[in-house]
A and B are shown apart, each in its own frame.
Chain A
Amino acid sequence: MAVRQVSKFDLPDLGVGVGFRVPHYRHVVETRPEMDWFEVLSENFMVEGGSPLYHLDHLSAHYPVVPHGVSLSLGGDGEPEHLRRLIALCRRVNAPWVSDHLCFVGAGGVQTHDLLPLPRTRAVRDHVVRRIRDVTDAIGIPFAVENPSTYVAHVDDEMPEWAFLAEIAEAADCAILLDVNNIVVSGVNHGFEPMDYLAGIPAERVVQIHLAGHTTLPSGFRIDTHDHPVPDPVWALYAAAIRRIGPVSTLVEWDDNIPTWERLAEEAATARRIRAESLS
């Protein structure tokens, strides 16, 4: 593998941050604890006013903030109102980039609010490329596409997920948000080697890494629950990713059974340590 490549998007290395979640809103806004940066769930702040925007404005006044969405539905059709609000959010927090998932979330007007897997075909690849180009043109800042966790594939899949992601990123000239937890989860569920995935990703397009915990069922099947500490296989893949990609912004996600701020900050500190060790 190549070592310590840098992103082609000339984006800042924000260090290690965490997701901004409701149980920590007040603590973060009122005490401004040490943290390199925050990621916010875009859809939670694409509102007209009130408490979400109050907390967002106080957050973005003191920390770098990156919006991360779940409803762009790159494999589906775009929704103009969603995009309009996303653009407003990016401007509001002066976002350096914005991200969403390589998936679709609904069809025929029905939203499942889940990250449904895409058939990895050339036709779907081309559709996603068009969607990302449209989104990037509209938003005007780099767009990063994230690999999701998946629990099924499609009988007509024409390429492995890393090739699908890489071809899309190259053709759309977009960035990649590499979720190493999702690679571990999908690797077990679909029987591929996480290191093969990592090797197949264009490192110079990775602008951010996601870390999270997951649930292992008695059968060994993995579910991307974001309700546990980051497990050892994810830390190991993270270290390998940093060695391959270089100093890239990293974000710890913890979305269910959310721990105290102190425990979450510990997880970020662990990521910071592993990142530094992997770069030395």
Chain B
Amino acid sequence: MTLPGDWRERWVDLVTGRGGDPSFLAGGPIKDHAEGLAVYQEAWRLRHLEALQVETPGLTALVGDRMPALAAAYFAVHPSRSWTLDRVADRLADWLAAQGEPPEVVEMARLDHRVMRSFSAGELPPVMLGEDLGSLALQPHAALLHPTTDVHQFRTAVIAGSDRPPIAARPVWLAIWRAGRTVQTMEIPPATWAILSGLEAGLGLAGALEQAFASGHLQPDTLDDQVAAAFELAATHGMIGSES
């Protein structure tokens, strides 16, 4: 077989297990073309499994021996489309949800993904005294999740190497952010979560407060205290910055 015009696509199909005719490849004195191709196929499988495990330590611990099969099924549908392996888990949580996996599995994958993204995300300058608060924004390395299970406690134990607690079904308002060179997770008050999620959505300060009020998490009689507490917490932990 001579070199096909779409040899690149054929190569990718062969390496990623989508099949095809490998007869445009040539072997050597030790391995024939099929055996040589198998080296690339196995490397692809192992490299992607390992990358997914690195990106999802919580999920990997949670699903245990199921991880290789899950990874194979996931990459069959969602092969990497980024130049960096750091993004291999970008579509994992949604894919797990579509497979009917239980909430804790889906939410652990989403938490893993957000934590790992925080490690190398950018950082806005801090808000300065007297600055227009309209420029307030959630830091790019910060994120907010609202899981229905306390998967973060299980994940924290995995990372720490301590005893893993059972995962309980309860609503959690979670903040994720980078402090120094480590990424933190913390349960925060629903009102604070609601305000910061407005900033995360790019609504600006006024829009974020409006959204939080509309969500029912901000109460008229304690509004001032709730807003002050939210910004004290966010500023103390470096979750917010200035886009100006």
Contact = CB atoms under 8 A, between A and B. Distances in A.
A88 interface: no
A50 B178 contact: yes
Contacts of A157: 26
Interface in B107-130: 118-123
Contact of A110 (B7, B16, B33, B119): B16
A107 B9 contact: yes
Contacts of A52: 119-120
Q: How many interface residues does chain B have, given as a range? A: 35 or more
Contacts of A151: 31, 36-37, 39-40
Interface stretch (B80-88, B200-208, B210-218): B80-88
Nearest to B31: A221
A153 B33 CA distance: 8
B25 interface: yes
A81 B87 CA distance: 14
A114 B83 contact: no
B3 interface: yes
B3 A156 contact: yes
Contact of B84 (A71, A107, A154, A188): A71
Interface stretch (B42-50, B59-67, B89-97): B42-50
A114 B47 contact: yes
B138 to A, nearest CB: 14
A76 interface: yes
B28 A48 contact: no
B3 A113 contact: no
B43 A109 contact: no
A190 B28 contact: yes
A111 interface: yes
B31 to A, nearest CB: 6
A81 B82 CA distance: 10
B231 interface: no
A189 B36 contact: yes
A220 B2 CA distance: 29
Interface string A217-258: 001110100000000000000000000000000000000000
B141 interface: yes
B8 A107 contact: yes
A152 B120 contact: no
A131 to B, nearest CB: 13
A49 B238 CA distance: 15
B69 interface: no
Interface residues of A, number: 45
A108 B9 CA distance: 7
B57 interface: no
Contacts of A54: 181
Given A107-B11, A151-B31, A191-B29, A48 B122 contact: yes
A90 B184 CA distance: 31
A278 interface: no
B25 A50 contact: no
Contacts of A112: 12, 15-16, 40, 44, 80
Interface string A181-196: 0000000111100000
Contacts of B118: 50
A276 interface: no
B27 interface: yes
B16 A221 contact: no
B135 interface: no
B31 A76 contact: no
B32 to A, nearest CB: 9
Contacts of B82: 111
B7 A50 contact: no
A123 to B, nearest CB: 9
Nearest to B87: A111
Nearest to B88: A113
A51 B9 contact: no
Given A48-B121, A51-B119, A75-B8, A111 B26 contact: no
B68 interface: no
A21 to B, nearest CB: 14
A81 B27 CA distance: 36
24 contacts: A43-B83, A43-B84, A47-B120, A49-B141, A50-B178, A71-B84, A75-B8, A79-B83, A105-B83, A107-B6, A108-B12, A110-B81, A112-B40, A116-B40, A151-B39, A152-B33, A153-B28, A154-B3, A155-B24, A155-B25, A156-B2, A191-B29, A219-B31, A223-B39
6 smallest A-B Cβ distances: which pairs? Answer: A48-B122, A107-B8, A152-B36, A47-B120, A71-B83, A156-B3
